């Protein structure tokens, strides 16, 4: 048996190019009824390649990379599997391996013979889908297709990561900020992981005491820079005190000689940072990560490499008990590709949830990539800072089910995360959205390890913030991810609530900033709604509450108690500050022509536009303000 992976990425493109050339040759022979059975097992493009050979020609041709799929499939029905999570994982792997061993034995023997004869160059069996990847000539394909245990032979097609649109920091001139890379330090002013704030991940850590501890996330991508300061501590292979165990926690399906995690392309490191990074960039900073590298230095892969990565993640280093709880796949293939359904069925049977990015092909109906378009995955669209679906985010419906996909959306534009070499990058794409959901699943499983994929899908979608009056839909699914709303559904027996209405003279005040501070000093922000209300689910404790709004005196309420199973109700009255009027005229300096300029009062929500005669007037709380004045074609005179 010959393993083909060390050479695959650099060789499969040329071999597929050969297949394309073969398809252009004129067909000189027609298949007879006697040969129809084995030819029907070949994918259409392979049938055409064989039909192009002269009649009776059995001479070896240039090898073609293919995947041979066997008929026998393991019984992974849930009713026949153990309920204990570890036992279930072992049982799934055992059944898959036994099925493959029994059904592949004769084929492997013949492949050894064909390899010795030069008709097969490389082959590698997979137990996860009961298939064999091989590079073979046309005569070998005919021989193999004629075997009764062979169900189908298809091309080992290429897959490429979507273009990685990233801006490295601090080299980007548009962001004049120094990047701090030391662990435990804060990101510099002017930069933040806005997606973490938008999904309220920090509310989960600070208010609910959940950070993903005890959960492992598998990252199937271009690799991970395990030495990045924000990822080093959360790598499961980092045993502490300088000891490491890469074998159980890292696999390179592109080049088996890479025994330690690396990421020449950068994509996987960015993804890992959003899932489990420290320094405020990760959704689940208490979770651990492992990784299977499935894309090369330029973002290329192939079906066989991806199968190898899936198989390793189901049993890292041959140990099913080490399988991750959730896998993030920020990649996708053609919407019509069904290649990976069996891999994901096996992972689901073992209790590992898979999350995939919807793709960056734009909002054309049915453009959603696979595996995101499958019924057995959780698919994620990208939203922007305005809570709109990003223009590039691929759309459903699923070609396989006809139903709405993606399932939900998450932040995916200008996402700040880790980048190889102790650096950070801002990146756009559904690749950046998917890890927000994978990280949230880690938080949910930390709160309740018994949750299944259907449970998780329901929780995520039912607590999402709708982005459109009509939902679910084929752009953003059920809405934008809300990690805090999702996780609190699992902690009703361990939490209490604070509810408050903020008023002024009996009238509700919307947009009031509420800050609840834990005894440890962690701030948890909220904002009142149109009815002047807010609600917070929290661990039992005493919290300091501060309410503030522009134009009102701030209110401080110390020692707000939260008890398990109880709701603390508060009525908060804010007092208006004394007010005055700020007014003036704006003119062009030399001509004294009045200008209808825009005036913004720094540090306030107030922006006004001067009238045609240049006059402006605004009612304000007493105080001192800095005015920012702007008008097209003008600058402020001094």
Tell me the pLDDT tens digit for each residue of 429-464.
Answer: 999 999 999 999 999 999 999 999 999 999 999 999
Q: Does residue 268 carry a pLDDT above 50?
A: yes
Mean local confidence (pLDDT), 112-122: 95
Q: How far apart are CA 371 and CA 357, in angstroms?
A: 8
Q: Does residue 172 carry a pLDDT above 70?
A: no
Per DSSP (E only), the strands in 245-360 are: 250-252, 288-293, 300-302, 326-329, 353-357
Residue 527 shares a structural domain with residue 611: no
- So what's the pLDDT on residue 428? 93
- So what's the pLDDT on residue 8? 39
Mean local confidence (pLDDT), 543-548: 98
Residue 184 shares a structural domain with residue 141: no
Is residue 636 domain-resident? no
In this predicted model, which residue has the larger pLDDT, 164 or 607?
A: 607
Q: Does residue 49 carry a pLDDT above 90?
A: no
167 confidence band (pLDDT: 50, 70, 90): low
CATH number of residue 615's parent domain: 2.60.40.1120
Residue 613 shares a structural domain with residue 531: no
Residue 323 shares a structural domain with residue 409: yes
Q: Does residue 322 carry a pLDDT above 50?
A: yes
Mean local confidence (pLDDT), 134-158: 94
Residue 470 shares a structural domain with residue 502: no
Is residue 510 domain-resident? yes
Mean local confidence (pLDDT), 193-215: 98
Is residue 638 domain-resident? no
Residue 287 shares a structural domain with residue 195: yes
Cβ burial 75-89 (10 Å sphere, 16+ → b, else e): ebeeeebeeebeebb
8 A C-beta contact, residue 379 and residue 405: yes
Mean local confidence (pLDDT), 220-239: 97
Mean local confidence (pLDDT), 55-79: 83
% pLDDT > 90, the chain: 79
Angle between the N-to-C axes of helices 138-145 and 44-51, in degrees from 0 to 180, rounded to the nearest 10: 120
- So what's the pLDDT on residue 175? 26
- What three-state secondary structure class fits 548? strand
% pLDDT > 70, the chain: 88
Last residue of a domain, one of 108, 136, 156: 156
Pairing mode of beta strands 300-302, 288-293: unpaired
Residue 596 shares a structural domain with residue 547: no
Q: Does residue 342 carry a pLDDT above 60?
A: yes
57 confidence band (pLDDT: 50, 70, 90): low
634 confidence band (pLDDT: 50, 70, 90): confident
Summarised one tens digit per residue, pLDDT across range 7-25 is 333 333 333 332 332 332 2
Flag the least confident range among 38-52, 468-482, 532-546.
Answer: 38-52
Residue 416 shares a structural domain with residue 306: yes
Is residue 150 domain-resident? yes
Residue 501 shares a structural domain with residue 357: no
Is residue 162 domain-resident? no
For the chain, give the mean pLDDT: 89
Segment (H or E) for 114: helix 85-117
Report, as residue numbers or ranges, the catalytic residues. 221, 267, 431
Domain that holds residue 277: 167-488
Q: Does residue 186 carry a pLDDT above 60?
A: no
Mean local confidence (pLDDT), 119-140: 95
Is residue 318 domain-resident? yes
**325 Cα distance to chain centroid:** 15
Is residue 320 domain-resident? yes
Residue 85 shares a structural domain with residue 231: no
Count of CB atoms situated within 10 Å of the CB of 470: 6
- So what's the pLDDT on residue 165? 62
Q: Write out the two tokens for 425.
A: 């990058």
CATH number of residue 203's parent domain: 3.40.50.200
Residue 219 shares a structural domain with residue 338: yes
Is residue 112 domain-resident? yes
Angle between the N-to-C axes of helices 303-314 and 341-350, in degrees from 0 to 180, rounded to the nearest 10: 10
Q: Does residue 55 carry a pLDDT above 80?
A: no
Mean local confidence (pLDDT), 307-327: 99
Last residue of a domain, one of 488, 523, 553: 488
Q: Does residue 185 carry a pLDDT above 50?
A: no
Q: Does residue 380 carry a pLDDT above 70?
A: yes
Last residue of a domain, one of 488, 516, 541: 488
In this predicted model, which residue has the larger pLDDT, 52 or 626?
A: 626
SS3 content of the chain, % helix, strand, coil (to 5): 25, 25, 45
616 confidence band (pLDDT: 50, 70, 90): very high
- Number of independent structural domains in the chain: 4
8 A C-beta contact, residue 618 and residue 608: yes
- So what's the pLDDT on residue 402? 96
Residue 90 shares a structural domain with residue 225: no
């Amino acid at each position: 048996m010959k393993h083909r992976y060390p050479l695959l990425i650099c060789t499969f493109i040329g071999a597929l190019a050969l297949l394309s050339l073969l398809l252009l040759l004129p067909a000189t022979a027609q298949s007879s009824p006697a040969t129809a059975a084995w030819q029907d097992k070949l994918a259409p493009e392979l049938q055409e390649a064989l039909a192009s050979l002269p009649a009776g020609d059995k001479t070896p041709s240039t090898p073609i990379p293919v995947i041979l799929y066997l008929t026998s499939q393991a019984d992974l029905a849930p009713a026949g599997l153990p309920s204990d999570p570890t036992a279930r994982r072992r049982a799934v792997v055992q059944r898959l391996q036994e099925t493959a061993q029994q059904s592949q034995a004769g084929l492997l023997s013949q492949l050894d013979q064909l390899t010795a004869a030069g008709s097969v160059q490389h082959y590698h069996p997979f137990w996860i889908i009961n298939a064999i990847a091989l590079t073979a000539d046309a005569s070998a394909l005919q021989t193999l297709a004629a075997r009764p245990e062979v169900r189908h032979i298809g091309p080992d097609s290429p897959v490429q990561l979507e273009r990685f649109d990233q801006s490295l920091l601090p080299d980007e001139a548009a962001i004049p900020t120094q990047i701090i890379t030391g662990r435990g330090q804060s990101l510099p002013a002017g930069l933040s992981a806005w997606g973490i704030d938008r999904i309220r991940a920090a509310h989960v850590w600070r208010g609910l005491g959940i950070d993903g501890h005890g959960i492992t996330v598998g990252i199937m991508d271009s690799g991970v820079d395990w030495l990045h300061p924000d990822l080093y501590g959360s790598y499961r292979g980092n045993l502490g005190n300088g000891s490491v165990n890469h074998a159980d926690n890292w696999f390179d399906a592109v080049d088996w000689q890479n025994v330690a995690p690396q990421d020449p392309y950068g994509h996987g490191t960015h993804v890992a940072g959003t899932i489990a990074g420290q320094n405020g960039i990760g959704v689940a900073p208490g979770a651990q990560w492992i990784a299977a590298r499935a894309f090369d230095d330029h973002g290329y892969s192939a079906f066989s490499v991806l199968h190898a990565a899936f198989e390793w993640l189901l049993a890292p280093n041959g140990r099913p008990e080490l399988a991750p709880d959730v896998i993030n796949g920020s990649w996708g293939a053609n919407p019509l590709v069904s290649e990976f359904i069996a891999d994901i069925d096996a992972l689901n049977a073992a209790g590992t949830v898979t999350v995939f990015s919807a793709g960056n092909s734009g909002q054309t109906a049915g453009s959603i990539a696979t595996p995101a378009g499958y019924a057995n995955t959780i698919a994620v669209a990208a939203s922007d800072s305005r809570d709109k679906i990003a223009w590039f985010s691929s759309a459903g419906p699923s070609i396989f089910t006809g139903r709405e996909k993606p399932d939900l959306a998450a932040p995916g534009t200008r996402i700040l995360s880790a980048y190889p070499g102790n650096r950070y990058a801002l990146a756009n794409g559904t690749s950046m959205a998917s890890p927000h959901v994978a990280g949230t699943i880690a938080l949910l499983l930390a709160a309740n390890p018994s949750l299944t994929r259907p449970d998780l899908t329901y929780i995520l979608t039912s607590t999402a913030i709708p982005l459109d009056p009509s939902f679910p839909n084929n752009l953003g699914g059920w809405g934008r991810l809300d990690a805090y709303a999702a996780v609190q559904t699992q902690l009703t027996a361990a939490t209490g609530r604070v509810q408050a209405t903020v008023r002024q003279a009996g009238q509700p005040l919307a947009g009031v900033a509420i800050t609840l501070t834990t005894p440890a000093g962690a701030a948890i922000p909220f904002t009142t709604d149109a009815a002047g209300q807010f609600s917070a689910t929290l661990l039992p404790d005493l919290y300091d509450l501060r309410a503030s709004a522009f134009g009102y005196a701030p209110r401080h309420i110390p020692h707000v108690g939260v008890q398990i199973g109880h709701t603390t109700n508060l009525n908060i009255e804010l007092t208006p500050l004394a007010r005055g009027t700020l007014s003036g005229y704006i003119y062009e300096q030399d001509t004294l022509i009045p200008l209808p300029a825009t005036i913004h009062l720094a540090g306030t929500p107030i922006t006004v536009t001067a009238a045609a005669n240049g006059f402006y007037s605004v009612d304000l709380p007493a105080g001192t303000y800095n005015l920012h004045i702007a008008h097209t074609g003008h600058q402020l005179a001094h």
